[in-house]
A and B are shown apart, each in its own frame.
Chain A
Amino acid sequence: MSYVTKSPWIIHYDGSSCNGCDIEVLACLTPMYDVERFGIINTGNPKHADVFLVTGAVNEQNKGVVQQIYEQMPEPKVVVAIGICACSGGIFRDCYNVLGGIDTVIPVDCYVPGCAARPEAIIDAVVKGLGVLAEKRAAMEVKEDKAELAAETEVKQNE
């Protein structure tokens, strides 16, 4: 069994959110919802994170930041778009500087619509994301095995 589902550490980034969804994300950590029950920790560091929670739409200003945080996270990783703005751009969709949802910049695994998204829905999405995380980990293992096999056959051929 894979342990990636047992301790998902999250990193939270506010794209251009109105803070409504951000407050709901942080509400998940409070005694009311207490996501640490599932081993979820809010890390401030992309290199320690497994789940990337993004709120708000992507615009020209934060495009690079979102991409950089995503790239700095070690595999396997999952992206959860929280709130309708992060899903599709929401009411800011037609603004001149808004590119749209998070998926215009990085691949997104789970979408949580809502304005603002409810904490229950956010927790649900993260739990859904864990399934994806386990799949990605399994894919990594297959890849590693293949790489090992290829290396072994290469050694044998050289002999």
Chain B
Amino acid sequence: MLTAIVSVIAYLILAPLIGGFLAGLDRIITARMQGRFGPPVLQPFYDVLKLREKENITVNRVQDFYVICFFIFVVVTGGFFFAGGSLLLVIFTLTLASVFLIVAAFSSGSAYAQIGAERELLQMMAYEPMVLLTAVGFYAYMGSFRVDDIIQGSNMPLIPLVGIFAGYIFILTIKFRKSPFDLSMSHHAHQELVAGLKTEFSGRTLALIEVAHWYENIFLLGIVFLFFVNGTILMTVIGIVVCLLAYFLEIFIDNSFARMKWQVALNSAWIAALVLGGINLFVIMIG
């Protein structure tokens, strides 16, 4: 119980710091891949602090309420995860958080935000089966959905769950909002939907979305880490290294692909879920 409280508090304090730092590294690595020098590593923090100083233009009051709910539920998702709660609960809370963001975009009434929100729904449809299969895979192998049971196990889940791991890495591109699947909103300028989902958010509201995104990224990397735990220090180190490598891989993919249509996102994510996740699950069930 005490470790759960400590790890939740550590998550609440450290996740935005590490998440923002990773976002800064992302900006620098992206710039270097494009032959540029790039911003300072603390740039994402400057951005958020600047957004807090800006005038807050909102279309309606309820919009901010939904965004705050999105933030709270993203934080709660990570909280459940790092407290050692059930993976299923974690996934359903994350879905609820995403729904709040979509409703916030819909409530603005802006055409760009609405198309962005529709695309976000399609993205959710694309990644959700694989996220669920990840939880089911852990259950099939470890016999429990609870994170604290999974980390107590002495066998590394990666080898029996290698297909599910690959599928999860695949949908991570969608969750991190990276090209080719950054359909609903993008950091890149001049995309066809202005800024998609976040077109109508500005000032503090936009800052909150950014910080929520950092929390979410750390939680998503936490699941990557979960594939490597077996109680030894060596595997802990390897797990963290693989988390960083996965993050680097997503940046690399981001810079080597143009945006694709939503059909490609949906089809490829479902094929990945069925082939990689499904076969892996089948093998575990038989074994």
Interface residues of A (CB under 8 A from B): 2-4, 6-7, 30-31, 34, 36-39, 41-45, 47-48, 50, 72, 74-76, 137, 140
With contacts A36-B39, A74-B54 known, is A44 near B202, CB below 8 A? no
Contacts of A31 in B (CB 8 A): 34-36
Is B57 in contact with A47, judged by CB distance below 8 angstroms? yes
**A50, A74, A137 interface centre (most CB from chain B within 10 Å):** A74
Pairs A-B, 10 closest by C-beta atoms: A74-B55, A6-B46, A3-B49, A42-B189, A75-B55, A47-B202, A31-B35, A3-B50, A34-B36, A45-B195
**Interchain residue pairs with CB less than 8 A apart (24):** A3-B50, A3-B53, A6-B46, A30-B36, A34-B37, A36-B31, A36-B37, A36-B38, A37-B36, A38-B39, A39-B39, A39-B43, A39-B46, A39-B47, A45-B195, A45-B199, A47-B57, A48-B195, A48-B198, A74-B202, A75-B54, A76-B55, A137-B53, A140-B55
Given contacts A4-B53, A36-B36, A39-B39, contact A47 B31 (CB under 8 A): no
Partner-A contacts on B (CB < 8 A) = 27, 31, 34-40, 43, 46-47, 49-50, 52-57, 187, 189-191, 194-195, 198-203, 206
**A37 touching B202, Cβ below 8 Å:** no
Q: A31-B35, A36-B36, A47-B202 are in contact. Are A3 and B46 (CB under 8 A)?
A: yes
Q: Add 10 more A-B contacts to A47-B202, A50-B50 (CB < 8 A).
A: A3-B50, A3-B53, A31-B34, A31-B36, A36-B36, A39-B46, A42-B189, A45-B199, A47-B200, A48-B202
Q: A3-B49, A3-B50, A4-B50 given as contacts; is B31 within 8 A of A43 (CB)?
A: no
Given A3-B50, A43-B195, A36:B57 Cβ within 8 A:
no
A37 and B199 contacting across the interface, CB-CB below 8 Å: no
A-side contacts of B200, CB under 8 Å: 47
What's the Cα separation between A43 and B56 when bound, in Å? 17
A146 vs B39: C-alpha distance when bound (angstroms): 36
Q: Least Cβ distance of A37 to chain B in Å?
A: 5
A34-B37, A43-B195 given as contacts; is B203 within 8 A of A74 (CB)?
Answer: yes
